[in-house]
A and B are shown apart, each in its own frame.
Chain A
Amino acid sequence: MEILSRLFQNFFNWEYIAQVLPVMLTAGIWNTLFLTAVSGVLAVVLGVLLAVMGMSHSRWLRWPARIYTDVLRGIPAILLIVIMGQGLFWLARDVFGTTSPYPLGITALTLITAAYLGEIFRSGIQSVDVGQSDAARALGFSSGSTMLFVIIPQGIRRVLPATMNQLIQLIKLSSLVFYLGLQADQREIFRIAQDFASMSGNQSALTVAAVCYLIITVPLTHLVNFIDQRLRDGKRVVVQDDPLAETGALDQPTSTTTPTTGVKPAAKETVS
C-alpha cells in the first residue's frame, strides 16, 4: 500500500498540480497551440506545393521535391531542431529580426511536417479519378485550374484523416522547441511541466502536461471524423417535397452500381 501511495503522490499530488495548473492554462497551452497553428498552416501550404512538384512532368520540380521529402522524413526531428537551433541561430536573428526562438522553431516544425504532408497530399491527389480531370478540361479549364479547383480539393478531402493525424503529431512535436531555449513566458506545455518537475522533485506537473495534450488532441481526432463525414455528404439539404417523387420510381439511386474505375464493361460488344 505504501508503494501505491508513493506512486500516487509522485504523479497526482494536488498541491503541485494546483501550483502548475494556472501557468499551464494561461501560458503553456496557448504557446503550444500557437506554435502548432502557425507551423501547421505553413506546413499545409508547403505540403501542397511539394505534392504538386512531386507529380510534375518536369524533373527540375520533381527531383527537388523528392530529395527534400526523403531527407526531411529521414532524419530525426530533434536532430533538425538542434541543427537549426545551434547552427542557424545567428542567421535567424538577422532574418527574423528577433532573438526569440519561435520563428526558428516554427520554421523547423514546418519543414518537418511539410515533408510528411506532401506525401499524404500526393497520394490523395493521385487517387482522384482521371475522369475528374477529363471533365474539367473538357469544359475548357487549364490544367492548372483543374488542379486547383477540382483535383486538389478532392484529393485533400480524401486524406483529411491522415492529415489530421499529422497535425496531431505536430502538436506533440512542438514540445521539441524547448531545445531552442525558451524564456519563461515562451514556454509551452512540456517545458513548463519539465521545469516544474525538476524543481519540485515531484512528477505531478508531467501528469498535468499529459492531460493538457490529451485535452487538445482527443477532441481533434473526433472533430476530424465529423468534418470527414460532413465533407462526404455535403451540407444537409432540407427539401420539403420528396426529391425522388419528381423523377419516378424507376429512377432510384443506383450509385453503388456505378463504376468509378474507368474500366469498360467487359461484355459491351454484345449490348444492342
Chain B
Amino acid sequence: MTTIQTATAAVGIEARGIHLSYGSNHVLRGVELDVEQGTTACIIGPSGSGKSTLLRTMNRLAEPDAGEILLDGRSVMGDDPNVFRQRVGMVFQHFNLFPHMTVLQNVTFGLRRLRRMGREEAEAEAMQQLAHVGLAAKAPFRPSALSGGQQQRVALARALAMRPQVMLFDEVTSALDPELVKGILRLMAELSSEGMTMVVVTHEMGFARNVADQVTFMDAGVVVETGAPERIFDDPQSARLRRFLDQVL
C-alpha cells in the first residue's frame, strides 16, 4: 500500500471556549479541545451533545458565537474562512459526493478550481488518491453506481487530495451497512498511524479505544471528560460518562 504524503505537514488544532446557539438552543457551552500535531482525538457522547456541531465549528462551517479555533497555535478567526478550510479536510456521515460529477471529477474538482492545477496534474493526483483507497477502477463512474462504503472512500480521497493539515470525520461510518464499516475504519487507522492530525466524532468505541490518542466525552454542549482511551473507557470519573458507556458497550 502506498503511503500518501498528506501527513507530513500536519499541525495541531485547538478549540477554545466555543459557544454556539441556534435560536434559544445553546448547543455548545464553552467547549475546550486541544488536539496535538499528528495525534487522533475521538469525540464520543450521546445524540444532541454537540459533537458534530463542535466539529463544524472547527473548520468554521458553523461560526461560533464566542471562542476561537487555533491551527498550529494561531487563531484562524481573522482568516478568510474559504482559504482556512482548504487546510482542514472533512468527511461527512452521508458522504456528500457530488452526484453530477464522476468519481474522478469529485476528486479533481477542488484541485482544479481551488489549487488551480491543470487537468493532467489534477487527474494524476486524483488517481493516486483513488488508488490509495482502492477505487481507481471506479474513476469514470458516477457516485450513484458505488456502494456506500465505496462512496465514503471516495469522499476520503477527495478530502485528502487537497493535502489538508488536519482531518475532521463526522460519524463517517454511521450511514454504512455494518459489513462496509471496517474498510473505512482501516483507512482511518492507517491515516492516523501516518501522522495525520485527526478529530473523529464517532460511535465506534472499538476505534476510539484502539486508534485514538485521546478520547473526549461530550454531553449537553460541554466536554465532560477527556483523556487517554484507557482512562476514559476503563476508569471513567463522572457518572454521566459511566452511564453513557453502560449504554453503548
Chain B residues near A269: list those with CB within 8 A.
46-47, 203, 247-248
B180 near A132: Cβ-Cβ < 8 Å:
no
A135 near B97: Cβ-Cβ < 8 Å:
yes
CB of A219 within 8 Å of the partner chain: no
A134 near B113: Cβ-Cβ < 8 Å:
no
Q: How far is the CB of B162 from chain A (nearest CB, A)?
A: 6
With an 8 Å Cβ cutoff, the count of chain B residues facing the other chain is 58
Contact pick for A260, options B94, B183, B206, CB 8 Å: B94
A270 near B59: Cβ-Cβ < 8 Å:
no
Distance, CA A262 to CA B174, complexed state (A): 11
Q: How far is the CB of A2 from chain B (nearest CB, A)?
A: 61
Distance, CA A150 to CA B158, complexed state (A): 15
A140-B248 in contact given A129-B96, A257-B177, A264-B47 (Cβ < 8 Å): no
Distance, CA A131 to CA B97, complexed state (A): 9
Chain A residues near B183: list those with CB within 8 A.
251
Q: How far is the CB of B104 from chain A (nearest CB, A)?
A: 11
B97 near A149: Cβ-Cβ < 8 Å:
no
A139 near B248: Cβ-Cβ < 8 Å:
no
Chain B residues near A260: list those with CB within 8 A.
94
A135 near B96: Cβ-Cβ < 8 Å:
yes
Q: Which of B24-32, B140-148, B190-198, B220-228 contacts A (4 or more CB under 8 A)?
A: B140-148
B140 near A255: Cβ-Cβ < 8 Å:
no
Tally A-B pairs: CB < 8 A. Answer: 135
CB of B128 within 8 Å of the partner chain: no
Contact pick for A149, options B113, B145, B159, CB 8 Å: B113
Chain B residues near A252: list those with CB within 8 A.
147
CB of B73 within 8 Å of the partner chain: no
Distance, CA A233 to CA B100, complexed state (A): 9
CB of A234 within 8 Å of the partner chain: yes
Distance, CA A10 to CA B94, complexed state (A): 64
With an 8 Å Cβ cutoff, the count of chain A residues facing the other chain is 45
B96 near A264: Cβ-Cβ < 8 Å:
no
Distance, CA A260 to CA B183, complexed state (A): 21
A262-B100 in contact given A134-B61, A243-B138 (Cβ < 8 Å): no
Q: How far is the CB of A140 from chain B (nearest CB, A)?
A: 4
B98 near A247: Cβ-Cβ < 8 Å:
no
A246-B114 in contact given A134-B96, A140-B82, A262-B94 (Cβ < 8 Å): no
Chain B residues near A134: list those with CB within 8 A.
61, 92, 96
Contact pick for A257, options B140, B142, B148, B205, CB 8 Å: B148
Contact pick for B134, options A139, A145, A247, CB 8 Å: A247
B94 near A246: Cβ-Cβ < 8 Å:
no
Distance, CA A239 to CA B179, complexed state (A): 26
Contact pick for A255, options B148, B174, B203, CB 8 Å: B148
Q: Which residues, 153 to 181 on B, are CB-close (under 8 Å) to A? A: 155, 158-159, 162, 171, 174-175, 177, 179-180
B interface residues (Cβ-Cβ under 8 A, vs A):
46-47, 59, 61, 82-83, 85-86, 88-90, 92-100, 102, 109-110, 113-114, 134-135, 137-138, 140-142, 144-151, 155, 158-159, 162, 171, 174-175, 177, 179-180, 183, 203-206, 247-249
Q: Pull 20 A–B residue pairs with CB atoms less than 8 Å apart, ordered by A.
A: A135-B92, A135-B98, A135-B155, A138-B88, A138-B92, A139-B158, A140-B86, A141-B82, A154-B99, A157-B100, A231-B100, A233-B142, A234-B142, A239-B137, A246-B137, A255-B147, A265-B174, A269-B203, A271-B248, A272-B205
The 8 lowest CB-CB distance pairs between A and B, nearest first, are: A140-B86, A135-B96, A131-B96, A138-B90, A139-B110, A234-B142, A140-B85, A271-B203
